[in-house]
A and B are shown apart, each in its own frame.
Chain A
Amino acid sequence: MNRPSGYAIVLGTRASRVGLLAAGIGCVVLFTMPFWAGSSTMRLLIEIMCFLTLAQMWNLLAGYGGLISIGQQAFVGVGAYGLFLCANHLGVNPFVAVLLGGLTAAALALPVAVITFRLKGGYFAVGTWVVAEVCRLAVSNVQFLGGGSGQSLTAMRGIPKALRESITFWIAAAITVGMVALTYWMLRSRFGMALTAIRDSEAASKSQGIHVQKIKLYVFVFAAFGSGLVGALYYLNALRISPASAFDLNWVVIAIFIVVIGGIGTLEGPIIGTLVYFGLRELLADYGSWYLMALGLCAVIVMIKWPKGIWGTIQHKYDLCFFPVQRRVRVLE
């Protein structure tokens, strides 16, 4: 066997270059949409972008951080109410207040982590759900935020419709592209390597000096920030909020469905999962609760038969990766 003359550690593959190019073109198209797309198309796209971002956050938590949360709706709701608090009651420009909503959610994530990190596995999941319920109940008791029936985003009055829709859309695009890019960049960094190490084996990671709890905390806060942005964005678009809607369990139900079907622990997975979800929703729109049942059934079957999800299975079979985060050793001649 000849000794190789050297080796290089590479991050990109040919598929990833294709993927980056496609993503670049997609972004350009996306940002020009307010000039040529209709209102309802933009509204639908904003919704799609909200769920895609939320799914990426849940995927980051569960697929990379090993933290399975069914309480992410807490941060969605808190981010949304942060927007309403700042815009309606503190006089902040509503578009700027979206960012403040995200930061509010991130701030809440710290004490939540302190409490819930004492739980493990399935118990952690239910614990996060309890936190979401506490948030919902607490907000319902706050009268100036609309109490149980909610309130409208009065701060948006006086802004012309076309302008409002365009700026909302650009914010949505910026958040989505930004959070996905940020996540991708994070996973490719040393932080990402530490995350993958923790995901594979916590005990081994600790012995290598990786500060497991601190890293999990960062991931948790980052995901909360992203979820808060999504909440603020969604209700910026919807112009009206209520506790039942903002803290609805369905936020996390749909995010989980998207991630599980698309492929957990991959970046491409949530993108595919979002397309599948919205496709199914259009198809089954007339069937009421049956469509949610179909989602549930799909998730159960996929989890049993193809636990890697659509993309995960394809990736495993064909070694295909558009957004690679793994380093490969390439032997140089």
Chain B
Amino acid sequence: MLEVNELRVFYGDFQALFGIDFHIEAGQTVSIIGANGAGKSTFLKTLCGQLRPRSGSVLFEGRPIGGRPPSAIASQGISMVPEGRRLFPSLSVEENILSGGFSGRNGPWTLERVYRLFPALRLHRNAPAMTLSGGQQQMAAIGRALMANPRLLICDEISLGLAPAVIKDIYAALPQLLQEGVALILVEQDVNTALSVSDYAYCFMHGRVSLQGQPGALSKTAISDAYFGIQ
């Protein structure tokens, strides 16, 4: 579904990604792990159109999307739950969820279905978004991304700043997102949680893929070496 080849991304003169190859199929869950500054966010921003690649190709369902504007990519079916949630403060909880619909895509996800997935949101539907707890904000952000009826859902550090019980609840809801063959990219610093739900994993370090494989096949030492870059 998503095919990335030799992706190179720069911030001005500073090179952040050095030729990333990445691959994900429909219905798959792939996690990207790595330390801060490894290039994970840069990679995601490029997929969503917030950054332009300097070279390399990004193909989504056969069509090139590298360099296209974010709103166009959202209409094609890639949806991101951004790092830090980034709900709109001027909008209520319900409006935030509904804002996901601006990409104009049809599909199974509706406001009702999001409320069934996350009942806590229904209680606070008219409250300003920022009055929610961290976990509820994360649910709202996921709900917003789902309203776009994506083919590929990207979750950037959704467990950041949340209590373990809350993280458990959110991850428990993830399988319901994947019913219609939606692919999921999970970016996490919490390696164990991410690997426990993934079909495949990539480890980024210094803008390169330092390790990749099925979670079962990767040993703990291999992962920590690839994560921390011990040579």
Direct contact of A and B (CB under 8 A): no
Please report B residues at the A interface, Cβ cutoff 8 Å. none
